[in-house]
C-alpha cells in the first residue's frame, strides 16, 4: 500500500516509516556506489539517498544518476534520521532511503538556469535588482529574448521555495482583505474592465477597438464601484481585480497590469469612518500574515533577508501639511499645495520612522488640485480635499477619498479638469437619482506584498509581470 506524503510532512516523527513522495528533482549527485538526490515540492526539499545494497541495484543507481534535473519523480523509501547533518543544500534532519524510484515525467529541455542559482541567498539587495529588472530596450528592439531569463522562464522561476512563499503570502493578503470586509458587511462586486471612451482620461490608458467603437481597459474600478455603493444602494462594496495602466516607463514599482484591491462605502457623517475601516483592514492583514504565514515568511527570509515592517495600532495619521512640514524641518523644500514626488515620499518615510517608529502611516487633506475630479473638496479650505494616501516603507500603497455625490458639483469639477461631460454621461447621470455620501480607496496588491517583504522590485510579486517590454509568458 502506498502512503503518499507531502514533502513538508516528512519529519523525524516518521522515522522508520515507509512512504512515497512526489517532487521535482533539483540536483543529482553520484558518489561511488550511490546517489544523492535533492527533491523539491512547494516550499520544501528532501534529501533522497540510494546506495547499492539490499533495496537498490546498480542499474537503479545508474537510472537515477542519468535523470535530467527538474524531472518529476515518485520515490518510495524509508524515513531515516542521519546522525550527522547531511552536507547537501538542505538543513533537514531527515532523509529518505530509497526502495523504489520512478520518473513520472522526464524534463525534456535544457534548463536555462540552474535552480540552485535561482535559490541563491541575496546578500546585496540593491545589486540583486538587476536580476528581475526589465530587458534593456535596445535588446528588445533587436528581437532578443532578453537577458532576464528568470522572467522569460517564469514557470521555472516560480518553483523556488522563496517564490512559492511569496505567492502564498500574496494569496493570503487577498484572503484577509476579503475576510475582513465580508465581516464588515461589504458585498463583493465585479465591474467591467472594458469601458467606453477615455472614461477617466489620461495618457496611460490602453485603448482598444470594440466592434468599431473606441473603448479602453479600466484604469481602476472607480466609477462603477461608486455607482454600486452610492447610486445602486449597496452601500458597502469591494472588488479584487485587474487594473490596466500604460505606464510607459520601467520603474521598480509600476506594472502595466496589476491587481487592485478596492473598496467603497457609504458614510454617515464623516470620511473618518472610511479611514477607520482602512486602518483596521490593514492591521488585520499585517497581523494575519504574521500569524498565519510564519513558514512562508521564513522561506522568503532565507533567500531575501528582510526586517519586519514596523507598524502601530492605532495607525499613525498625519495631515498632508504636517507631512510637508516634516520635510521642510529636515531641510527639504516642499510646498503644502504641490504634489509629493516619489523621492520626497521616500524621504518622508525615513523621517516618520525616525520620529514615530512606524513604517506604516497615512496622510489626509491633500491639495485638491493634485487629486482626481471626483474628489470631495474640504468644506473649510477649498484648496484642500477630503482625500488620503497610505504608505508602507515610504511608498504609496493606497489612494482614496470622500467622493462628490452631488451631481452638479461633480459635473462642475469634471469640466474644471477638462473632462467632457459627454464622455462620462452615464456616470454623471447615475448621481441624478439620489446617491449616498460615500468614500473609499484603492490598494495595489503587488505593491503591498513587495513592501511588506521589503523586496526591491514589483516584478517579484507579480505572477507574470506585464511591463512595457514584456508580454510573455
Ligand atoms: P503612483 O503614484 O505610485 O504612480 P498612483 O497614485 O498613480 O500610484 P493610484 O491611482 O492612486 O496610483 O492607484 C491606487 C494604488 O494602486 C496605488 O496606491 C498603488 O498601490 C497601486 N498602483 C498604482 N499604479 C500602479 C502600477 N502601475 N503598478 C502597480 N501598482 C500600482
Ligand atoms: Mg501613477
Ligand atoms: Mg501617487
Ligand atoms: Mg495614488
How confident is the model over 241-267, as pLDDT tens digits?
A: 999 999 988 889 999 999 999 999 999
* 417 is annotated as an active-site residue: no
In the predicted structure, residue 134 carries a pLDDT above the cut 70: no
In the predicted structure, residue 413 carries a pLDDT above the cut 70: yes
Taking the centre of ligand 1 as the mean of its atom positions, its distance from the CA of residue 397, in whole angstroms, is 7
pLDDT band for position 201 (cuts 50, 70, 90): low
**What per-residue confidence (pLDDT) applies to 314?**
98
Q: Give 467's DSSP letter.
A: B
Ligand nearest 254 Cα, by number?
Answer: 1
Q: What percent of the chain has pLDDT over 70?
A: 93
Q: Where are the alpha helices (DSSP H) in 66-160?
A: 115-118, 125-132, 137-141, 149-152, 154-157
Taking the centre of ligand 1 as the mean of its atom positions, its distance from the CA of residue 385, in whole angstroms, is 19
Mutation probe of ligand 1 site: the residue of 240, 257, 444 with most atoms within 8 A of C-beta: 444
d(CA 307, CA 454): 8
- Regarding an ipTM greater than 0.95, the answer is yes
In the predicted structure, residue 197 carries a pLDDT above the cut 90: no
DSSP secondary structure string for all residues of 398-462: EEEEEE---HHHHHHHHHHTT--GGGGHHHHHHGGG----EEEEEEEHHHHHHHHTT-S-GGGGS
CA nearest ligand 1 atom 6, residue: 399
**Mean pLDDT of the 300-312 span:** 96
In order of 23, 67, 400, the CA distances from 103 in angstroms are 10, 8, 53
| Beta sheet of 207-210, edge-to-edge order | 194-196, 213-217, 207-210
**Mean pLDDT of the 78-85 span:** 82
d(CA 61, CA 29): 10
**What per-residue confidence (pLDDT) applies to 123?**
80
User: For residue 239, what are the β-bridge partners?
Assistant: 262
In order of 260, 370, 399, the CA distances from 349 in angstroms are 23, 20, 16
pLDDT band for position 346 (cuts 50, 70, 90): very high
Mutation probe of ligand 1 site: the residue of 240, 243, 256 with most atoms within 8 A of C-beta: 243
Three-state DSSP at 319 gives strand
DSSP secondary structure string for all residues of 252-317: SS--SEEEEEEEEEE-SS-THHHHHHHHHHHHHHHHHHHHH-HHHHHHHHHHS--PPPP--SSPEE
User: How many CA within 13 A on the CB side of residue 165?
Assistant: 24
Q: Can you tell me which residue has the cell 487629486?
A: 371
**Mean pLDDT of the 36-55 span:** 93
**pLDDT tens for residues 92-132?**
689 999 999 999 999 999 998 889 888 989 887 776 666 66
pTM of the entire predicted model? 0.95
In the predicted structure, residue 430 carries a pLDDT above the cut 90: yes
In order of 145, 313, 323, 364, 404, the CA distances from 318 in angstroms are 47, 14, 6, 7, 23
**Mean pLDDT of the 258-278 span:** 98
CA nearest ligand 1 atom 7, residue: 399
Q: Ligand 1 pocket by C-beta < 6 Å: which residues?
A: 245, 247, 253-255, 258, 396-399, 442-444, 446-447, 458
Average pLDDT score over the chain: 92
Taking the centre of ligand 4 as the mean of its atom positions, its distance from the CA of residue 254, in whole angstroms, is 12
Ligand 1 atom with minimal separation from the 395 CA: 3
In the predicted structure, residue 85 carries a pLDDT above the cut 60: no
Three-state DSSP at 117 gives helix
By the 10 Å C-beta count (0-12 exposed, 13-18 middle, 19+ buried), 104 is classed as exposed
Taking the centre of ligand 4 as the mean of its atom positions, its distance from the CA of residue 243, in whole angstroms, is 13
**Mean pLDDT of the 10-16 span:** 94
* 224 is annotated as an active-site residue: no
C-beta separation of 380 from 368 below 8 A: no
* 126 is annotated as an active-site residue: no
For residue 289, give the C-alpha cell.
500574515
C-beta separation of 122 from 107 below 8 A: no
Q: Are strands 236-244 and 187-188 parallel, antiparallel or unpaired?
A: parallel
Taking the centre of ligand 2 as the mean of its atom positions, its distance from the CA of residue 442, in whole angstroms, is 12
Mutation probe of ligand 1 site: the residue of 282, 339, 341, 442 with most atoms within 8 A of C-beta: 442
d(CA 444, CA 465): 14
Q: Are strands 257-266 and 236-244 parallel, antiparallel or unpaired?
A: antiparallel
Catalytic residue among 100, 396, 412, 421: 396
pLDDT band for position 423 (cuts 50, 70, 90): confident
Give the closest residue to 61 by CA, choosing from 47, 51, 76.
51
**What per-residue confidence (pLDDT) applies to 89?**
47
In the predicted structure, residue 143 carries a pLDDT above the cut 80: no
Amino acid at each position: 500500500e502506498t502512503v503518499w506524503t507531502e514533502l513538508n510532512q516528512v519529519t523525524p516523527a516518521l522515522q522508520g516509516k515507509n512512504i512515497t513522495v512526489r517532487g521535482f528533482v533539483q540536483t543529482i549527485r553520484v558518489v561511488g556506489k550511490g546517489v544523492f538526490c535533492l527533491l523539491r515540492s512547494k516550499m520544501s526539499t528532501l534529501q533522497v539517498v540510494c546506495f547499492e545494497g539490499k533495496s537498490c541495484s546498480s542499474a537503479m543507481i545508474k537510472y537515477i544518476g542519468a535523470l535530467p534535473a527538474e524531472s518529476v519523480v515518485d520515490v518510495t523509501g524509508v524515513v531515516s534520521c542521519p546522525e550527522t547533518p547531511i552536507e547537501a543544500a538542505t538543513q533537514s534532519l531527515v532523509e529518505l532511503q530509497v526502495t523504489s524510484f520512478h520518473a513520472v515525467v522526464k524534463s525534456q529541455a535544457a534548463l536555462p538556469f540552474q535552480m540552485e542559482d535561482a535559490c541563491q541567498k541575496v546578500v546585496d539587495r540593491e545589486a540583486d535588482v538587476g536580476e528581475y529588472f526589465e530587458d534593456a530596450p535596445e535588446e528588445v528592439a533587436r528581437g532578443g529574448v532578453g537577458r532576464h531569463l528568470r522572467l522569460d522562464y517564469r514557470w521555472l522561476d516560480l518553483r523556488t521555495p522563496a517564490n512559492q512563499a511569496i505567492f502564498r503570502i500574496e494569496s493570503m493578503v487577498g484572503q484577509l482583505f476579503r475576510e475582513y470586509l465580508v465581516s464588515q458587511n461589504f458585498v463583493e462586486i465585479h465591474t467591467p474592465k472594458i469601458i467606453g471612451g477615455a472614461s477617466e482620461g489620461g495618457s496611460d490608458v490602453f485603448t482598444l477597438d470594440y466592434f468599431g467603437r473606441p473603448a479602453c481597459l479600466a484604469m481602476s474600478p472607480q466609477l462603477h464601484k461608486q455607482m454600486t455603493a452610492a447610486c445602486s444602494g449597496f452601500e458597502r462594496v469591494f472588488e479584487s481585480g485587474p487594473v490596466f495602466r500604460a505606464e510607459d516607463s520601467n520603474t521598480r514599482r509600476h506594472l502595466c497590469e496589476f491587481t487592485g484591491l478596492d473598496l467603497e462605502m457609504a458614510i454617515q457623517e464623516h470620511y473618518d469612518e472610511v479611514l477607520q475601516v482602512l486602518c483596521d483592514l490593514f492591521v488585520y492583514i499585517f497581523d494575519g500574515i504574521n500569524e498565519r504565514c510564519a513558514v512562508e515568511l521564513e522561506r522568503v527570509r532565507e533567500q531575501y533577508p528582510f526586517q519586519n515592517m514596523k507598524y502601530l495600532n492605532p495607525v499613525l495619521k498625519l495631515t498632508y501639511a504636517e507631512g510637508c512640514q516634516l520635510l521642510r524641518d529636515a531641510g527639504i523644500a516642499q510646498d503644502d499645495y504641490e504634489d509629493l514626488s516619489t523621492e520626497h515620499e521616500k524621504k518622508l518615510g525615513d523621517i516618520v520612522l525616525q520620529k514615530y517608529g512606524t513604517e506604516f502611516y497615512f496622510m489626509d487633506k491633500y491639495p485638491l488640485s493634485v487629486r482626481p475630479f471626483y474628489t470631495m473638496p474640504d468644506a473649510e479650505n477649498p484648496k484642500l480635499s477630503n482625500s488620503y494616501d497610505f504608505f508602507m516603507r515610504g511608498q504609496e500603497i493606497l489612494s482614496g477619498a470622500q467622493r462628490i455625490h452631488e451631481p452638479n458639483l461633480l459635473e462642475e469639477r469634471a469640466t474644471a479638469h477638462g473632462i467632457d461631460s459627454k464622455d462620462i454621461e452615464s456616470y454623471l447621470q447615475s448621481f441624478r437619482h439620489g446617491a449616498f455620501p460615500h468614500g473609499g480607496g484603492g490598494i495595489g496588491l503587488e505593491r503591498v506584498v513587495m513592501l511588506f517583504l521589503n523586496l526591491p522590485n514589483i516584478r517579484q510579486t507579480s505572477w507574470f509581470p506585464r511591463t512595457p517590454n514584456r508580454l510573455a509568458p
